[in-house]
């Protein structure tokens, strides 16, 4: 056994990575019990696969990757994106709440307002993170996995469409709607508070 392989120590995973993995899972599923189950499943899968660990990444990165796959499986099993086309068709009036039908421009009452502080300085604040999580939880459930994959995980569109089984056109509609809802929620609960 090499020195690198000696570093893989499942007995230390909970102490070293448990809190981080739990917070990551909480951000993505917004349910503590589900997040705890996903982290537990991650550790179980990692223990079963530890002999196949190739040491191409750090132990932490490997565990995060396993957790991300567990979260994708969770959303697939939950089937939250089933019939997303029907959902989007049923909510076609979404744009009428924010945009002028004639020219596609923002409605005067809904147009984005200038934010008083630099967004970069707020990203590091725990309270801001909590508000973002709150705003994600208020989105329709069919928008959440796509929004998280794009803006939290920084996945590319092709990967998201493939992993979540969403067509490209539905992906862009979901992203647009989620961004509009996020902006409105952040304005109401953070920037204009």
Count of domains forming the chain: 2
CATH of the domain at 164: 1.10.10.10
- Backbone torsions φ then ψ of 106, nearest 5 degrees: -60, 140
Torsion of CA 79, 22, 119, 149, to 10 degrees: -30
CATH of the domain at 24: 1.10.1740.10
Where among 25, 46, 78 does a domain terminate? 78
In angstroms, rounded to a whole number, what is the distance separating the alpha carbons of residues 23 and 6? 27
In a shared domain, residues 70 and 88:
no
For residue 110, what pLDDT band results from cuts at 50, 70 and 90? confident
In a shared domain, residues 92 and 161:
yes
Where among 22, 50, 78 does a domain terminate? 78
In a shared domain, residues 21 and 98:
no
In a shared domain, residues 65 and 111:
no
| Whether pLDDT at 2 is above 80 | no
Residues ≥6 apart with Cβ < 8 Å to 26: 32, 35, 133
Q: What pTM does this model have?
A: 0.54
Mean pLDDT of 114-142: 75
| Whether pLDDT at 101 is above 60 | yes
| Whether pLDDT at 50 is above 80 | yes
Angle at CA 100, nearest 5°, toward 98 and 101? 115
Where among 53, 78, 103 does a domain terminate? 78
In a shared domain, residues 93 and 123:
yes
In a shared domain, residues 68 and 88:
no
Range of the domain at 88: 84-191
In a shared domain, residues 37 and 101:
no
In a shared domain, residues 107 and 184:
yes
Q: Would you say 149 and 158 are in contact if contact means Cβ atoms under 8 Å apart?
A: no
pLDDT tens, 6-42?
Answer: 467 888 899 989 999 998 898 888 889 999 999 999 9
């Amino acid at each position: 056994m090499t020195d690198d392989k000696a570093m893989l120590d499942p007995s230390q995973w909970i102490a070293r990575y448990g809190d981080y993995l739990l917070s990551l899972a909480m951000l993505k599923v917004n349910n503590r019990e589900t997040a705890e189950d996903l982290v537990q499943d991650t550790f179980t899968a990692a223990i079963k696969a530890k002999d196949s660990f190739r040491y191409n990444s750090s132990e932490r990165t490997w565990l995060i990757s396993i957790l991300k796959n567990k979260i994708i499986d969770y959303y697939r099993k939950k089937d939250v994106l089933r019939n997303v086309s029907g959902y989007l068709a049923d909510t076609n009036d979404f744009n009428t709440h924010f945009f002028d039908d004639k020219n596609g421009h923002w409605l005067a009452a809904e147009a984005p307002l200038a934010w008083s502080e630099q967004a970069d300085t707020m990203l590091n604040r725990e309270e801001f993170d909590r508000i973002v999580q709150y705003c994600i939880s208020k989105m329709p459930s069919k928008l959440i996995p796509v929004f998280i994959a794009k803006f939290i995980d920084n996945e590319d569109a092709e990967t998201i469409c493939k992993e979540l089984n969403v067509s490209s056109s539905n992906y862009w509609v979901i992203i647009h709607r989620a961004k509009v809802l996020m902006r409105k929620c952040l304005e109401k609960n953070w920037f204009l508070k």
